[in-house]
């Protein structure tokens, strides 16, 4: 007959496992927060650039100058490459 480990050992193992999972989720939450802060900064920069472009367009009173500005002014949207770790797809 094999002995079973004491109940306290099993409970400790369960709690350590839960604490480990909480640490992983907390770390992911911090990383998500960092990405959100970066994204918000990029959005604020883009909004500021768009305000400047609106002012430039409004200042062009000649229709040919306005058409020239409309044709040349292009605001590239910021882009961050997303990286998804393989472990997110493991089930």
Secondary structure (3-state) at 90: coil
For residues 51 and 19, is the Cβ–Cβ distance under 8 A?
no
Domain assignment present for residue 25? The answer is yes
Domain assignment present for residue 83? The answer is no
pLDDT in tens, 24-45: 999 999 999 999 999 999 999 9
Domain assignment present for residue 12? The answer is no
Which of 21 and 79 is assigned the larger pLDDT?
A: 21
Q: What span, in angstroms and rounded, lies between the C-alpha atoms of 44 and 21? A: 35
Domain assignment present for residue 49? The answer is yes
Domain assignment present for residue 84? The answer is no
Quick one: 66 exposed, middle or buried, by C-beta within 10 A (0-12, 13-18, 19+)? middle
Domain assignment present for residue 26? The answer is yes
What is the mean predicted confidence (pLDDT) over 8-37? 93
pTM for the predicted model, two decimal places: 0.55
Domain assignment present for residue 8? The answer is no
Domain assignment present for residue 36? The answer is yes
């Amino acid at each position: 007959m094999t002995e079973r480990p004491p109940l306290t050992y099993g409970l400790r193992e369960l709690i350590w496992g839960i604490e480990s999972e909480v640490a992983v989720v907390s770390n992911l939450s911090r990383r998500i927060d960092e990405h959100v802060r970066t994204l918000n900064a990029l959005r604020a920069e883009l909004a500021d650039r768009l305000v400047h472009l609106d002012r430039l367009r409004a200042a062009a009173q000649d229709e040919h100058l306005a058409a020239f500005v409309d044709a040349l002014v292009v605001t590239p949207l910021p882009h961050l490459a997303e990286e998804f770790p393989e472990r997110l797809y493991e089930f």
